[in-house]
Amino acid sequence: MVPASGLMSIGSCPLHVIHNSFRRGTTSTQWAIDESVNEMWFRFSCSAAREDFVKVAHSIVDGYARFLHRFVCTRWIEIGMVLERVLEQWNIINEYFLIYLPQSDKTLARNDRFQRITTTLKDKSTLTRFHFILYLYRTIFKKALVWFQQERLLVHLVFGECCNVLRSVLLCFVKEELVANKQGTQLLSISYELQNSQRIDGKIDIGESTRNCLHDLSVSEKAVFYKGAREIYCTITKELIRTLPINNTLLRHLQCLHPLLRKESASRTNILCIARSMPFLFNEDEIDRLGVEWRTYEMADIPDDWIENKTGDEDQSETTIYHPIDTYWHHVFSVKTSTGSPQFVVLTKLVKCLLSLSHGNADVERGFNENRHLVSDERAFLSEQSVNGQRATSAGVKFFADGKPHQVAITSNLLDNVKNAHSRYRKDQEQQEQLRRNKEIADQAAKSAKTQHELLAEQELDLLEKQKQLQIELNHATHLFEEGNQRLKAAIDARNFSEIETSGILIDSGKRKLTNINTEIVQNNDALNQLRKKMKK
C-alpha cells in the first residue's frame, strides 16, 4: 500500500490470476490439448463438413450431433466447455474420422490436418488427458471463477477464497498431513515439488472418468500420464503461489468485516491495523475512537436476522441464506445511542471505504458486456446519455424484478413518468442548450479578455524593444560628445583652428542627439508605465 498517495494495494484480480494459472499448468506439458481441439473445429468450420457430419451422426446413433465449440487461446478456461462437447460425442467423432472419412474420401490421406486429427484419436492417452483436464476445470477452477464473478460485495472473503483455491490444488497431489493444519500464508511454505511431499501415482486426484480410462493404457503410458499430471499440478501451484494475493495484509485484515468473526480476538487488532494504514483518512483521535466503537460493536446484541435468513418447512430441511455484507452493515450503522445520535461514527466511515473496494474486475467487464449488448450495430451512434439511460433501465429491471421485465409492477407513478418522459426530455434539452449558450458567451468573453491581454503584452514588448534601441542610440551620442571634447582639447593644445571648428561641430551634434534621445526615453518610460497599469486591472 502507498499511504502517501492514498492508494491501497489489494493485489491483482484473482479471477485473471486463477485463469492464467490454469492456462500455464495445462500448457506446461507436451499434450497440446488446445491444438487437438482446434484441429477438429477447423475441420467443421465450413458448412459442407458440418452437414456431412450431421448425416453421418444420424446413421451412427439415434440422437443428434452437436457441433464442436471453438477454442480461443485468450479464454483458456473455456477449454472445459470445449472438451465437454468433444467427450459427449467421442464415439461419433472417432467413427467419423477413423472409419467414414477414409472410406468416402481417399484424398484425405494426403491432408496434413486430417493426419494430425487421426493420430490424436488413435492415441489411447488422448481420451485420458481430455478427461483429466475436464476434471480440473469442473472440480476446481470453474467453481472459483464463478464465485469471483458474483455481483455482491466479496472483498472481505477474497483472502479466504484464494487460500481455498490453493489448498484445493495442493490436496490433489500433496500428502494430506502436509496441508491439513496449514492456514493462510502457511500454505506458501509447503514443499510441494519434493517427491517425498507428493502422493503416489495411485492416490493423485485425477477424477473417476480419468481413472477408468487408465485401464486401457500400458504401464509405460500410465507412467507418462502421471508424470504429465504432476507437472500440471506443480505448475499451477507455482503460479498460484506467485500471483495470488495471499501475502496481502490488507486482504487478510478485511476478514474482520465478516459478521461471524465479530467476536474473534484478532478482529479488533485487524480493524485497527487497517485504520493505521490509512493516515490520510484517519487521525490519532479517530483511531482511538474506532477502538472504543469496535468494543461496543463486539458486545452489541446483533439479531440473527441481520446476518442470515432461515427458510424451510415441515417436509424440508432448514436452509440458511446469508444476507449481503452491505445489508448487514447497513443495519449496524442504523444503531443509535440513548440520545438518538449514531452509535458508530468512525466505524461507519471506515467500513464504507472498505466496502467500496472491488474483489476483482468482473463488475467492470460485465459493464462492457452490457454495453456491447445494448449498443448493437444499428445503434452505434447513440450518445453517451442515451447509453446511460439504457443501462439505467436495465439496472432498474434487474433490481425491481430480478431481470424479468414482465414482473415489473405497473404503478401510477410509473405511468406518470412514462407520460411525462417526452416533456422532461424537451425541458432537459432546453436546459442543455441554455448551458451551451452560456458556455459560448463565457468562452467568447474569456477569448476577448485574452485577446486584449495579448495585445497589451505585444505593445509592452514593442516599448521594451524601443527602450533598448534608445539606450543604444544614447550610448552612441554620449560617445560622439566625448570624442568631440577630446578632439577640442587636443586642437587647443596644438593651436589647430580648423580642428577646433570640426570639434565644435561634433560637440553640438552630440548635444542635440543626447537631448532628443533623453526626451524619447522619458516618453517611452511614461507609455510603458501606463501600459503596465492597464495590464494589472
Each residue of 294-331: pLDDT tens digit? 999 989 888 888 888 877 655 566 777 888 889 999 99
Decide which of 438 and 485 is more confident.
438
Residue 228: pLDDT over 90: yes
Cα radius of gyration rounded to whole Å, the chain: 41
Q: Which domain holds residue 121?
A: 3-247
Cell numbers 458448412 correspond to 47
Half-sphere exposure of 518 (CA within 13 A, CB side): 8
Residue at 78 is within a domain? yes
Check: CB of residue 279 under 8 Å from CB of residue 3: yes
Confidence at residue 231, expressed as pLDDT on a 0 to 100 scale: 94
Confidence at residue 2, expressed as pLDDT on a 0 to 100 scale: 43
Domains in the chain: how many in total? Answer: 3
Confidence at residue 15, expressed as pLDDT on a 0 to 100 scale: 84
Each residue of 253-282: pLDDT tens digit? 999 999 999 888 899 999 999 999 888 888
Residues 289 and 335 placed together within one structural domain of the fold: yes
Among 171-180, 201-210, 452-461, which is the least confidently predicted range? 452-461
Q: How far is CA 9 from the centre of its chain?
A: 13
Residues 177 and 260 placed together within one structural domain of the fold: no
Residue 5: pLDDT over 60: no
The average pLDDT across 196-212 equals 92
Grid cell, residue 70, equals 471453438
Residues 155 and 285 placed together within one structural domain of the fold: no
The average pLDDT across 434-457 equals 81
The winner for highest mean pLDDT among 267-276, 408-417, 452-461, 527-536 is: 267-276
d(CA 134, CA 121): 17
Residue type, 529: N
Residue 226: pLDDT over 90: yes
The average pLDDT across 125-137 equals 92
Cell numbers 452560456 correspond to 438
**Dihedral angle of Cα 250, 251, 252, 257, to the nearest 10 degrees:** 100
Residue at 346 is within a domain? yes
d(CA 48, CA 27): 32
Each residue of 158-182: pLDDT tens digit? 999 999 999 999 999 999 999 988 8
The average pLDDT across 356-360 equals 82
Residue at 298 is within a domain? yes
Confidence at residue 60, expressed as pLDDT on a 0 to 100 scale: 65
- Which among 247, 273, 301 is the end of a domain? 247
Residues 9 and 117 placed together within one structural domain of the fold: yes
Query: CA torsion sign, 36 to 37 to 40 to 43?
Result: negative
Residues 242 and 282 placed together within one structural domain of the fold: no
Each residue of 106-116: pLDDT tens digit? 788 788 888 88
Residues 185 and 273 placed together within one structural domain of the fold: no
Residues 151 and 281 placed together within one structural domain of the fold: no
- Tell me what percent of the residues of the chain surpass a pLDDT of 90: 25
Residues 122 and 54 placed together within one structural domain of the fold: yes
List of residues 6+ apart from 98 with CB closer than 8 A: 118, 121, 122
Grid cell, residue 328, equals 448487514
The average pLDDT across 206-228 equals 92
Grid cell, residue 129, equals 488427458
- Which among 215, 247, 279 is the end of a domain? 247
The average pLDDT across 67-88 equals 79
d(CA 109, CA 114): 7
> What secondary structure letter does DSSP report for 193?
T
Cell numbers 451422426 correspond to 57
According to the 3-state scheme, what is the secondary structure of 267-331? Answer: HHHHHHHHHHCCCCCCCHHHHHHHHHHHHHHHHCCCCHHHCEEEECCCCCCCEEEECCHHHHHHH
- Identify the band that residue 128 occupies on the pLDDT scale cut at 50, 70 and 90: very high
Grid cell, residue 34, equals 488446445
List of residues 6+ apart from 333 with CB closer than 8 A: 342, 344, 348, 351
Each residue of 390-408: pLDDT tens digit? 888 888 888 777 778 888 8
Residues 237 and 348 placed together within one structural domain of the fold: no
Residues 339 and 292 placed together within one structural domain of the fold: yes
Average model confidence (pLDDT) across the chain: 84
Grid cell, residue 532, equals 503596465
The winner for highest mean pLDDT among 44-58, 67-81, 345-359, 436-450 is: 345-359
Query: Bridge partners of 322?
Result: 308
Residue 467: pLDDT over 80: yes
- Identify the band that residue 47 occupies on the pLDDT scale cut at 50, 70 and 90: low
Confidence at residue 313, expressed as pLDDT on a 0 to 100 scale: 59
- Tell me what percent of the residues of the chain surpass a pLDDT of 70: 93
Residue 274, judged by CB atoms within 10 A of its CB (0-12, 13-18, 19+), counts as: buried
Confidence at residue 63, expressed as pLDDT on a 0 to 100 scale: 55
Residue at 256 is within a domain? yes
Residue type, 397: V
